[in-house]
Each structure stands twice: as C-alpha cells, then as structure tokens.
Amino acid sequence: MWSPVVVLLLVALSGVAEGGVWKRSDDTSTSEVLLQQLSKQLNHVTAQVAALQAQLKAAARSVAFQARSVAFQARSGAFQARSVAFQAQPSSGLVQLGADATVVYDKVNLTIGNAYDDHTGFFTAPLSGTYTFSVSCMAGMQW
C-alpha cells in the first residue's frame, strides 16, 4: 500500500511552481486557454476564407463562360440575320402540273431567314445578293 508521505511527495513532484503557487501539470493558465481559443478561431476563419476564395474562383469562371457564350450568341445571331436558306419538298411524292402552274413545296425541312412561304411556294429575297436554287424534277410521263 502507499503511504501518505509517498503520495504527497508524488503530488508535489508532479506539480510545477508558478509564482509561488503549486500547479498541476494538466492545469493551463488563462492566457494559454485564450491562446488556444484564438488559435481555433483563426483556423476556422482561415478555412472559411479558403472556401470563399474557391467559390469566388468558380463564380469568376462561370461569369467568364457566360460572357463568352453571350459574345458567341451575338456573333451567331448577327450571322443568322445575314443568312438565308431553306430546304423544302412536296408533301406528296408526285406533283402534276398544268400550264403556268406554281409548284408549292409545302414540307419545309429547313428555314433560315423565313424567306420561303410554304403556302404560296414563293421565295422572297430579304437581302440583295446571289441565290442558288436546286430542283429535281422529271417531265414527259403520261399517266
């Protein structure tokens, strides 16, 4: 068994004298506690700043992408405003024509510039320039 003298000696040896007051080795001073709290807060704030910096970088990348997209759309829109094209065909396979008849290609597959009217069969050139048309037809068959 331990004697009271040995226990008292062990307690005395494990303490640290600080300003004339004996202190246990697991005790911390008020300034040490404050320093630990401030250190924890600093670590937390540092982590928050890093997270905010990452969010800011992501937002900057997103804004840059959107700006490029808007610029591309503006260029594309300007290009489409100057472009005219259409591709159409008759909805029925064969069309019989009489004299001075207008062929109406009423199934429109592509239209840029809305220059072709699929009800009348008329193409109205919205811009001055050179236009190319390609038509496939067969004549001379008797029904």
How far is 121 from 138, CA to CA, in rounded Å? 19
The model's confidence at residue 143, banded by pLDDT at 50, 70 and 90, is low
How far is 134 from 58, CA to CA, in rounded Å? 50
Q: Residue 11 has what pLDDT?
A: 46
Q: What is the DSSP letter of 2?
A: -
CA 112, chain centre distance (Å): 28
Range in 16-20, 82-86, 138-142 the model is least confident about: 16-20
- Full-model pTM: 0.40
Task: Match 């300007």 to its residue by tokens.
Answer: 78
**Would you say residue 15 has pLDDT above 60?**
no
Summarize pLDDT for 45-101 with one digit per residue, the tens.
999 999 999 888 888 887 777 777 777 777 766 555 678 888 988 887 677 777 888
How far is 76 from 68, CA to CA, in rounded Å? 12
**Would you say residue 16 has pLDDT above 70?**
no
In terms of pLDDT, which residue wins out, 100 or 21?
Answer: 100
Task: Match 């300034």 to its residue by tokens.
Answer: 31
Summarize pLDDT for 102-133 with one digit per residue, the tens.
888 888 988 888 899 999 989 999 888 888 88
